[in-house]
Amino acid sequence: MAIRRCEFNTAAELAAVHALQREAYEVEAALIGTRNIPALRESVEDLRSAEAESFWGWFDADGACAGVIATESEMDAGERLVRISRLAVGPRWFRRGIGRMLVAHVLKECPALTVKVTTGAANAPARRLYEAAGFALIGGCAAPDGTPIVEYRRRARSPAACADQP
Protein backbone atom coordinates (compact mmCIF):
# COMPACT_ATOMS: atom_id res chain seq x y z
CA MET A 1 0.00 0.00 0.00
CA ALA A 2 1.69 3.10 -1.23
CA ILE A 3 1.26 6.44 -2.90
CA ARG A 4 3.08 6.77 -6.19
CA ARG A 5 3.07 9.09 -9.14
CA CYS A 6 0.70 8.10 -11.95
CA GLU A 7 2.42 8.49 -15.30
CA PHE A 8 -0.27 6.72 -17.35
CA ASN A 9 2.39 4.67 -19.12
CA THR A 10 0.00 1.78 -19.54
CA ALA A 11 -3.52 1.69 -20.91
CA ALA A 12 -4.53 -0.42 -17.92
CA GLU A 13 -3.42 2.20 -15.37
CA LEU A 14 -5.13 4.97 -17.31
CA ALA A 15 -8.36 2.96 -17.60
CA ALA A 16 -8.27 2.08 -13.89
CA VAL A 17 -7.89 5.72 -12.83
CA HIS A 18 -10.62 6.81 -15.26
CA ALA A 19 -13.05 4.17 -13.93
CA LEU A 20 -12.18 4.97 -10.31
CA GLN A 21 -12.80 8.69 -10.71
CA ARG A 22 -16.10 8.08 -12.51
CA GLU A 23 -17.32 5.90 -9.62
CA ALA A 24 -16.20 8.44 -7.03
CA TYR A 25 -17.66 11.45 -8.82
CA GLU A 26 -21.00 9.66 -9.30
CA VAL A 27 -21.20 9.57 -5.49
CA GLU A 28 -20.36 13.28 -5.31
CA ALA A 29 -22.97 14.01 -8.00
CA ALA A 30 -25.62 12.40 -5.81
CA LEU A 31 -24.45 14.43 -2.79
CA ILE A 32 -24.49 17.80 -4.52
CA GLY A 33 -27.50 17.20 -6.73
CA THR A 34 -25.90 17.57 -10.16
CA ARG A 35 -23.95 15.43 -12.59
CA ASN A 36 -22.31 18.57 -13.99
CA ILE A 37 -18.87 17.58 -12.71
CA PRO A 38 -16.11 17.92 -15.32
CA ALA A 39 -14.56 14.53 -14.50
CA LEU A 40 -17.87 12.80 -15.29
CA ARG A 41 -17.75 14.15 -18.84
CA GLU A 42 -14.10 13.27 -19.32
CA SER A 43 -13.06 10.49 -21.67
CA VAL A 44 -10.04 8.25 -21.17
CA GLU A 45 -8.26 10.29 -23.84
CA ASP A 46 -9.13 13.55 -22.07
CA LEU A 47 -7.59 12.14 -18.90
CA ARG A 48 -4.45 11.06 -20.77
CA SER A 49 -4.04 14.58 -22.17
CA ALA A 50 -4.39 16.35 -18.80
CA GLU A 51 -0.80 17.56 -19.20
CA ALA A 52 -1.00 20.44 -16.73
CA GLU A 53 -1.93 18.09 -13.90
CA SER A 54 0.37 15.97 -11.75
CA PHE A 55 -1.30 12.75 -10.56
CA TRP A 56 -0.60 10.54 -7.56
CA GLY A 57 -2.43 7.36 -6.75
CA TRP A 58 -2.85 5.21 -3.67
CA PHE A 59 -2.31 1.58 -4.63
CA ASP A 60 -3.11 -1.48 -2.56
CA ALA A 61 -0.78 -4.46 -2.08
CA ASP A 62 -2.13 -6.05 -5.28
CA GLY A 63 -1.43 -2.90 -7.31
CA ALA A 64 -5.06 -1.78 -7.61
CA CYS A 65 -5.60 1.98 -7.56
CA ALA A 66 -7.94 2.87 -4.70
CA GLY A 67 -7.62 6.64 -4.86
CA VAL A 68 -6.11 9.42 -6.94
CA ILE A 69 -5.28 13.07 -6.45
CA ALA A 70 -4.13 15.59 -9.05
CA THR A 71 -2.68 19.05 -8.71
CA GLU A 72 -1.94 22.00 -10.96
CA SER A 73 0.30 24.97 -10.42
CA GLU A 74 -1.26 28.42 -10.79
CA MET A 75 -0.82 32.06 -9.93
CA ASP A 76 -3.33 33.99 -7.86
CA ALA A 77 -2.81 37.68 -7.08
CA GLY A 78 0.92 37.25 -7.68
CA GLU A 79 1.19 34.21 -5.42
CA ARG A 80 2.29 30.87 -6.86
CA LEU A 81 0.12 28.13 -5.44
CA VAL A 82 -1.02 24.56 -5.98
CA ARG A 83 -4.62 23.70 -6.77
CA ILE A 84 -5.98 20.26 -6.03
CA SER A 85 -7.78 19.72 -9.31
CA ARG A 86 -9.27 16.34 -8.45
CA LEU A 87 -9.47 13.91 -5.57
CA ALA A 88 -11.25 10.62 -6.04
CA VAL A 89 -11.46 7.53 -3.87
CA GLY A 90 -13.23 4.44 -5.12
CA PRO A 91 -16.46 3.85 -3.17
CA ARG A 92 -15.37 0.40 -2.00
CA TRP A 93 -12.39 2.14 -0.36
CA PHE A 94 -14.37 4.86 1.45
CA ARG A 95 -13.73 5.46 5.15
CA ARG A 96 -10.21 4.01 5.15
CA GLY A 97 -8.28 7.29 5.27
CA ILE A 98 -7.12 7.15 1.64
CA GLY A 99 -8.36 10.65 0.79
CA ARG A 100 -6.69 11.98 3.94
CA MET A 101 -3.40 10.28 3.00
CA LEU A 102 -3.53 11.66 -0.54
CA VAL A 103 -4.18 15.22 0.68
CA ALA A 104 -1.37 14.84 3.26
CA HIS A 105 0.95 13.72 0.46
CA VAL A 106 0.24 16.87 -1.54
CA LEU A 107 0.76 19.06 1.52
CA LYS A 108 4.05 17.31 2.27
CA GLU A 109 5.31 17.64 -1.31
CA CYS A 110 5.86 21.35 -0.85
CA PRO A 111 5.07 23.13 2.36
CA ALA A 112 6.20 26.43 0.80
CA LEU A 113 3.11 26.76 -1.39
CA THR A 114 -0.44 27.61 -0.51
CA VAL A 115 -2.81 24.83 -1.59
CA LYS A 116 -6.35 25.56 -2.70
CA VAL A 117 -9.29 23.34 -3.57
CA THR A 118 -12.93 23.75 -4.51
CA THR A 119 -15.76 21.33 -3.92
CA GLY A 120 -19.52 21.27 -4.00
CA ALA A 121 -20.96 23.14 -1.04
CA ALA A 122 -23.18 20.13 -0.29
CA ASN A 123 -20.26 17.67 -0.34
CA ALA A 124 -20.01 17.30 3.44
CA PRO A 125 -17.45 14.43 3.42
CA ALA A 126 -15.02 16.43 1.26
CA ARG A 127 -15.52 19.55 3.32
CA ARG A 128 -14.80 17.63 6.55
CA LEU A 129 -11.67 16.16 4.98
CA TYR A 130 -10.27 19.55 3.95
CA GLU A 131 -11.17 21.20 7.25
CA ALA A 132 -9.50 18.35 9.19
CA ALA A 133 -6.37 18.85 7.05
CA GLY A 134 -6.14 22.49 8.10
CA PHE A 135 -7.78 24.16 5.11
CA ALA A 136 -9.75 27.34 5.79
CA LEU A 137 -12.99 28.17 4.04
CA ILE A 138 -12.33 31.21 1.84
CA GLY A 139 -15.72 31.67 0.24
CA GLY A 140 -18.30 30.32 -2.10
CA CYS A 141 -19.94 30.99 -5.40
CA ALA A 142 -22.03 29.19 -7.97
CA ALA A 143 -20.71 27.06 -10.82
CA PRO A 144 -21.99 28.01 -14.29
CA ASP A 145 -24.91 25.61 -13.85
CA GLY A 146 -25.85 27.24 -10.53
CA THR A 147 -24.41 24.51 -8.28
CA PRO A 148 -23.06 26.08 -5.07
CA ILE A 149 -19.31 25.51 -4.65
CA VAL A 150 -16.88 26.50 -1.93
CA GLU A 151 -13.17 27.26 -1.95
CA TYR A 152 -10.70 26.24 0.72
CA ARG A 153 -7.06 27.23 1.16
CA ARG A 154 -4.25 26.02 3.31
CA ARG A 155 -1.53 28.63 3.59
CA ALA A 156 2.13 27.77 3.03
CA ARG A 157 3.85 26.45 6.14
CA SER A 158 7.53 26.88 5.31
CA PRO A 159 8.35 29.78 2.98
CA ALA A 160 11.98 28.70 2.47
CA ALA A 161 11.25 25.13 1.38
CA CYS A 162 10.64 23.74 -2.09
CA ALA A 163 10.91 26.89 -4.17
CA ASP A 164 10.89 24.84 -7.37
CA GLN A 165 7.93 22.58 -6.61
CA PRO A 166 4.79 22.39 -8.80
Please give the pLDDT value at position 10: 83
Q: What is the rounded end-to-end Cα distance, in angstroms, of the chain?
A: 25
Q: How far apart are CA 2 and CA 65, in angstroms?
A: 10
C-alpha span between 3 and 67 (Å, rounded): 9
- Please state, in angstroms and rounded to a whole number, the distance separating the CA atoms of residues 155 and 166: 15
Dist CA 130 CA 110 (whole Å) = 17
Using the predicted structure, report yes or no on whether residue 163 has a pLDDT greater than 50: no
- Whether the CB-CB separation of 136 and 115 falls below 8 Å is answered with no
pLDDT at 6 over 50: yes
Phi, psi (rounded to 5 degrees) for 144: -55, -30
pLDDT of residue 166: 43
> pLDDT-derived band of residue 161, with 50, 70 and 90 as boundaries?
very low
Query: pLDDT tens digit string along 100-118?
Result: 999 999 999 878 899 999 9
DSSP 116-148: EEEEETT-HHHHHHHHHTT-EEEEEEE-TTS-E
pTM (2 decimals)? Answer: 0.88
pLDDT tens, position by position, 59-106: 888 888 899 999 999 998 888 899 999 999 999 999 999 999 999 999
Question: What domains, with CATH codes, occur in the chain?
Answer: 2-154 (3.40.630.30)
Pairing of strands 136-142, 2-6: unpaired
